Chain A
Amino acid sequence: MRELYEKLKTRFPLGEFTDQRDNLGFITVDKDQLRPVLYHLRDHEGFSHLVLLTAVDWIEEDRFQLTYLLSNRTRSVDVGLRVMLDRGEPVMETIHDIWPTAATYQCELREMFGIDFPDSPGVMDDFILEGWDDLPPYRRDFDTKKYSDETYAHREGRVTHDPAEYMKKQLYPDEV
């Protein structure tokens, strides 16, 4: 994998490299370097398949990470390209013109993380969350518990006990 990284480095400014295993590596690239690197990998290095496109919310660093995972099926080698986005302005260029399947991933990421991909076909359509009007649920500041509490009714008659308080009463029955 390092070989590929060194080779790419002569053509593109690249960020951090992670040598995950013999047939998998990750390379961080700048937002505006993604398309040229993707074209190069597809057309000159045999990475013909977009395996997936996903995101991570690094809320502490105020960034989103996009990961474009590509596969060279003949050589059974995968490479992931990491792109860091400003969490305050989560917009990324679409790549559906390179791989049409990307449109679906981009639609999902727009819905789940609130990352926009302008001009991606159907990017504003509901993906699985019909009528969602809350914070995108995969964002780490989305409070799942609170949402579930407010959205779904609790069955009547439910009672819970605090383990610490309950155990204390049993151990120290004389205490008030």
Chain B
Amino acid sequence: MMLDVLSPFRAWKNLFRDPVTVIDPLNDRPGAARYRGFHQNDVDLCIGCGTCEAICQNAAIDMVPVKQLEAPGKDSGLRPKIDYGRCCWCALCVDVCMTGSLTMSNEYKWVESDPEKFRFIPGVDKKYWDDAELGYHRPEDYHLTPHTRAEMGEMEADERISNFDEIVYGYTREQAIIEADRCVSCGLCVATCPAHMSIPDYIAAIRDGDYEGGLKLLYETNPFSQVCGRVCTHRCETVCSAQHEGDPIAIRWLKRHITDNVPAEKYAEIIGGKEPDTGKKIAIIGAGPAGLTTAFDLAKMGHKVVVHEANSGPGGMARYGIPEYRMPYDVLDHEVSVIESLGVEIKYNTRIGKDIAMEELQKDYDAVLLSIGLHLGRSTRIIGTDNPAVAKAVDLLRDITNGKKVKVPETVVVIGGGNVAMDIARSVARLQKQTYGEVKLTVTALEDFDHFLADPEEVKESFEEGINILDARGPQEIVIDDKGKVTGLRTWKVKSIFDEDGRFNPSYDETDEIIHEGTLVIEAIGQMSDVSLLGEDLTEKLEWSRGRIVVDPDGRTNQEWLWAAGDCVHGPDIIHAVADGHRVAKSIDKHIGKAKAKSKK
């Protein structure tokens, strides 16, 4: 009680404090330090993801093109334009902003007679408060979406090195929910994905626990969803808006999570369904992602599709180029069985040019697609590469897939720094571990680690498995002893890879020489197509550019009956091959539909 009586006198203690009132309130009326005034946007930081527009409860934000910013691939090219006739200054847009580019100044007094002036693009339409330091900024530790990716379980190095079992376990439901909840559905991933998979929608399906609906969405754009859920180059993740203040969403793992959670026997029922038979027949050469995606689409359109495959199993580069520990064969087989369930016929061990002539295909079918991948390894052509103890990565990877007994010696050197180099190195390391109990393998890459070609996780996992990767080493000569046996590889330190004109022309520091010990040297420096099947006539007729067949935007060659797609046209990338397959299928359907009279039995 006493305190309550005395409390008015306590105010006296403030007598000598500085006043908090403004001295000249008529002229000087600054907003409070964290006042939510007119917006500021750092347009270089902004990625135009539109999350501000999506969260605005007053529909005050439009996403509009800003010409001077257009750099395809980096961001959407749009920036938020705010209608201050509707903005209620709640700052939800600032709180949700994925890059932190959008903030608010403490300026609020701006007056104009023209109402149109109150619609502008912050940061683009210059305003005097653009550089104001005070105003509302999202507090540093305040995030509406978590920044860290849900952890993925995987086998430890010493557990995985002695076998070819799949390394990654896949998300549990709990992990997937945590990861799915981080997505703001901006869709920059959809734009970037060559196949334009409906990523935010299938992530929403995970949230809702609707795996069958999710699977349906996946297969609308990608009949290799199980494959891509494991080994996709995931360009989607490189544009993900979540990466600017945290980890990008693990889109690839979420995709796999859906495919893991639908029973295998239900796939065909969920994905299937086709148009009535058209009586048209299409021949496809090569049962890889490009060929089989085309087959999938064309079969759904009601066409008869026969796929000719030189190997004994389906999947193309996805099977014969990617090791089983990344891409289990039974998953691939299941993927292909879904495509076969649509009536697609696959003839294995059938090599065009040997078992069937190209002309025969042209004669018997309404259209032919060439999707033959890149099964020939390139050589460095340094001295000694003609020795039998010098192998090409693609050949060895194919032998391993075919279950051939591949004999690896105790010491091996791999030339190359891309993902294929990592694939063969890690495969050989497993075989070494099985045979000798230890890994003795050196990878020599032309690029330095700052410009490395292989995925960072491949490099990291290779090191964990005991593989020695040396960067910036240029191969000079296969070292061969006087009995003709390979004993190693001689390399020089790379000074630069490209010359002043940007041409491939490495220069070396010859004083920095290393002999890498190895009785087998494997070249993994690139692949090319085996186009010998085309025959001289056709090869002559086709248009070529740098060893690849030239096609129009729809994938058609200059021969009206022949299309080409996949790695053999665009270089190695599964999701690109899938996108290619869709494009070509559409084009083939369009052209054989027109040419009805040409149909043969």
Q: Is the CB of A158 within 8 A of B77?
A: no
Chain B: interface residue count, which band? Answer: 35 or more
**B191 part of interface (Cβ distance < 8 Å):** yes
Query: Which A residues are in CB contact (< 8 Å) with B59?
Result: 145, 148-149, 154
**B520 part of interface (Cβ distance < 8 Å):** no
Taking the closest CB of chain A, its distance from the CB of B580, in whole angstroms, is 12
Determine the residue in chain B with the shortest Cβ distance to A148: B58
Bound CA–CA A160/B60 (angstroms):
11
**A165 part of interface (Cβ distance < 8 Å):** yes
Bound CA–CA A159/B49 (angstroms):
16
Q: Is the CB of B76 within 8 A of A152?
A: no
**B514 part of interface (Cβ distance < 8 Å):** no
- Asked, given contacts A145-B59, A164-B190, whether A170 binds B72 with beta carbons under 8 Å apart, the answer is yes
- Asked, given contacts A152-B86, A155-B83, whether A164 binds B63 with beta carbons under 8 Å apart, the answer is no
**A9 part of interface (Cβ distance < 8 Å):** no
Taking the closest CB of chain B, its distance from the CB of A135, in whole angstroms, is 15
Determine the residue in chain B with the shortest Cβ distance to A165: B191
Chain A 7-23 per-residue mask, 1 if CB under 8 angstroms from chain B, else 0: 00000000000000000
Q: Is the CB of B63 within 8 A of A161?
A: yes
Q: Is the CB of B187 within 8 A of A162?
A: yes
Bound CA–CA A171/B50 (angstroms):
18
Determine the residue in chain B with the shortest Cβ distance to A164: B187
Query: Which A residues are in CB contact (< 8 Å) with B186?
Result: 163-164
**A168 part of interface (Cβ distance < 8 Å):** yes
**A144 part of interface (Cβ distance < 8 Å):** yes
Taking the closest CB of chain B, its distance from the CB of A89, in whole angstroms, is 28
Chain A 140-176 per-residue mask, 1 if CB under 8 angstroms from chain B, else 0: 0000110011001011001111111111101110110
Residue in A163, A170, A174 whose CB lies within 8 Å of B70:
A170
**B64 part of interface (Cβ distance < 8 Å):** yes
Query: Which A residues are in CB contact (< 8 Å) with B72?
Result: 167, 170-171
Query: Which A residues are in CB contact (< 8 Å) with B192?
Result: 167, 171
Chain B 269-289 per-residue mask, 1 if CB under 8 angstroms from chain A, else 0: 000000000000000000000
Bound CA–CA A149/B188 (angstroms):
26
Bound CA–CA A170/B69 (angstroms):
12
Query: Which A residues are in CB contact (< 8 Å) with B191?
Result: 163-168, 171
- Asked, given contacts A145-B59, A166-B76, whether A161 binds B64 with beta carbons under 8 Å apart, the answer is yes
- Asked, given contacts A148-B86, A171-B72, whether A163 binds B58 with beta carbons under 8 Å apart, the answer is no
Residue in B3, B78, B115, B196 whose CB lies within 8 Å of A166:
B78
Q: Is the CB of A160 within 8 A of B85?
A: no
Query: Which A residues are in CB contact (< 8 Å) with B53?
Result: 160
**B62 part of interface (Cβ distance < 8 Å):** yes
Query: Which B residues are in CB contact (< 8 Å) with A171?
Result: 72-73, 191-192
Determine the residue in chain A with the shortest Cβ distance to B196: A168
Bound CA–CA A3/B293 (angstroms):
69
- Per the 8 Å Cβ criterion, residues 52-102 of B in contact with A are 53, 56-59, 61-65, 70, 72-73, 75-78, 83, 85-86
Query: Which A residues are in CB contact (< 8 Å) with B73?
Result: 170-171
Taking the closest CB of chain A, its distance from the CB of B333, in whole angstroms, is 32
Query: Which B residues are in CB contact (< 8 Å) with A158?
Result: 62, 83, 119
Determine the residue in chain A with the shortest Cβ distance to B50: A163
Bound CA–CA A118/B83 (angstroms):
42
**B25 part of interface (Cβ distance < 8 Å):** no
Query: Which A residues are in CB contact (< 8 Å) with B86?
Result: 148, 152, 154-155
Bound CA–CA A82/B239 (angstroms):
45
Query: Which B residues are in CB contact (< 8 Å) with A166?
Result: 63, 65, 76-78, 191
Bound CA–CA A141/B283 (angstroms):
56
**B48 part of interface (Cβ distance < 8 Å):** yes
Query: Which B residues are in CB contact (< 8 Å) with A149?
Result: 59
Bound CA–CA A158/B115 (angstroms):
13
Taking the closest CB of chain B, its distance from the CB of A112, in whole angstroms, is 15
Bound CA–CA A152/B56 (angstroms):
14
Query: Which A residues are in CB contact (< 8 Å) with B263?
Result: none
Q: Is the CB of A155 within 8 A of B62?
A: no
Q: Is the CB of A163 within 8 A of B78?
A: yes
- Per the 8 Å Cβ criterion, residues 148-188 of B in contact with A are 186-188
Q: Is the CB of A155 within 8 A of B63?
A: no
Q: Is the CB of B85 within 8 A of A159?
A: no
Query: Which A residues are in CB contact (< 8 Å) with B49?
Result: 163
Q: Is the CB of A163 within 8 A of B62?
A: no
Query: Which A residues are in CB contact (< 8 Å) with B50?
Result: 162-163
**B8 part of interface (Cβ distance < 8 Å):** no
List 23 A-B residue pairs with CB atoms under 8 Å apart, sorted by A's residue number: A144-B58, A145-B59, A148-B58, A148-B59, A154-B59, A155-B83, A158-B83, A160-B53, A160-B62, A161-B65, A162-B187, A163-B63, A163-B188, A164-B188, A164-B191, A165-B191, A166-B77, A166-B191, A167-B75, A170-B72, A170-B77, A171-B73, A172-B194
Per CB-CB distance, the 6 closest pairs between chain A and chain B, nearest first, are A164-B187, A167-B191, A163-B76, A160-B62, A168-B191, A144-B57
Given contacts A145-B56, A159-B62, A163-B48, 20 further A-B contacts (CB under 8 A): A74-B3, A148-B57, A148-B58, A148-B59, A155-B83, A155-B86, A155-B119, A160-B61, A162-B187, A163-B187, A164-B76, A164-B190, A166-B63, A166-B77, A167-B75, A167-B77, A167-B188, A170-B73, A171-B73, A171-B192
B interface list, Cβ under 8 A from A: 3, 48-50, 53, 56-59, 61-65, 70, 72-73, 75-78, 83, 85-86, 115, 119, 186-188, 190-192, 194, 196, 553, 583
